[in-house]
């Protein structure tokens, strides 16, 4: 009888010990799985927060691509209004350009010249002293640029159009009638009152009053278009 009791006691000890070891193994596996899951979460967050490029420059919150020049420039609400279109390309006031960019869009200029403003140049343009102005002449088109920016890049500050192949952003071109001009630019007005048959300038001014556009009208037809930006 004593021998039987010893055998039963040994068996019970073995069963309890086996159960204890099994529980420890499960706890270790659970701990390992929890650690692995935590690492995966951290890795995913890091990947999501890592930029994949300057996508905010080329697309808006809806994913729609933002076309060149349609972002507001220093609070300028007119965007591409002061612009002309040529062969599907748009050039606007305040656009950053250089010789190569203009040639790629418009072809080789018929003539160009540059001038750096100085105190003794006789032009009395003190705010522009030290800045360089470049002028490009194409057939029926004159473009002026200046490097009056902190990074010294040249931007367009004046455009004069005398040829019908350079329509504005609202598709008004040299040779169009006064009626078509008024319909396209209802915000504009004649500086001289617009008396019938009189030569006059039809002016379009945005809310900022820094940029503007003038259509010279003669014999009820647009004869030239001037776009400009006032320089400080």
Range of the domain at 27: 1-50
Residue with tokens 């062969």: 87
3-class secondary structure, 161 = strand
Residue range 31-81, pLDDT digits in tens: 443 333 433 332 222 222 322 333 222 233 333 333 333 334 444 445 578
Give yes or no: residues 45 and 101 share one domain.
no
Do the domain assignments include residue 59? no
pLDDT per residue as tens digits for the range 95-110: 999 999 999 999 999 9
CA distance 21 to 118: 91
Are the beta carbons of 169 and 155 closer than 8 angstroms? no
Calpha distance 168→116 (Å, rounded): 30
Q: Residue 3: inside a domain, yes or no?
A: yes
> Does one domain contain both 44 and 159?
no
Is 0.75 surpassed by the pTM of this model?
A: no
Instruction: Mark whether 88 and 186 lie in a shared domain.
Output: yes
Judgement on whether residues 32 and 110 belong to the same structural domain of the protein: no
Mean pLDDT of successive 10-residue segments in the chain (232 residues)? 51 51 46 38 27 29 35 47 94 94 95 93 89 96 93 94 97 97 94 80 83 94 96 76
Looking up residue 148, the CATH number of its domain turns out to be: 2.60.460
Please report how many Cα atoms fall inside a 13 Å half-sphere around the Cα of residue 25, on the Cβ side.
6
109's tokens:
């200029």
- Position 147 in a domain: yes
Q: Do 43 and 138 fall within a single domain?
A: no
Q: Cα angle at 227 between 204 and 67, to 5 degrees? A: 95
125 and 193 assigned to the same domain = yes
Does residue 100 sit in the same domain as residue 19? no
User: Quick one: which of 174, 184, 185 has its CA closest to 218?
Assistant: 174
Please state the domain count of the chain: 2
């Amino acid at each position: 009888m004593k021998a039987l009791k010893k055998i039963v006691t040994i068996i019970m000890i073995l069963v309890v010990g086996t159960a204890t070891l099994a529980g420890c193994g499960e706890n270790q596996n659970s701990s390992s799985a929890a650690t692995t899951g935590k690492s995966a979460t951290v890795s995913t967050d890091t990947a999501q927060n890592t930029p994949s490029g300057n996508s905010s420059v080329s697309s808006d919150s809806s994913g729609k691509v933002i076309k060149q020049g349609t972002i507001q420039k220093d609070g300028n609400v007119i965007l591409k209004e002061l612009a002309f279109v040529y062969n599907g390309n748009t050039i606007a006031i305040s656009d950053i350009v250089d010789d190569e960019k203009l040639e790629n869009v418009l072809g080789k200029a018929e003539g160009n010249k540059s001038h750096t403003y100085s105190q003794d140049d006789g032009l009395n343009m003190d705010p522009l002293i030290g800045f360089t102005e470049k002028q490009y002449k194409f057939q029926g088109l004159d473009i002026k640029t200046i490097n009056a920016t902190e990074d010294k890049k040249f931007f367009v500050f004046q455009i004069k159009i005398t040829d019908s192949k350079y329509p504005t952003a609202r598709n008004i071109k040299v040779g169009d009638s006064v009626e078509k001009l008024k319909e396209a630019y209802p915000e504009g007005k004649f500086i001289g009152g617009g008396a019938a048959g009189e030569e006059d300038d039809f002016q379009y001014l945005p809310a900022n009053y820094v940029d503007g556009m003038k259509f010279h009208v003669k014999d009820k037809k647009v004869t030239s278009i001037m776009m400009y930006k006032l320089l400080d």
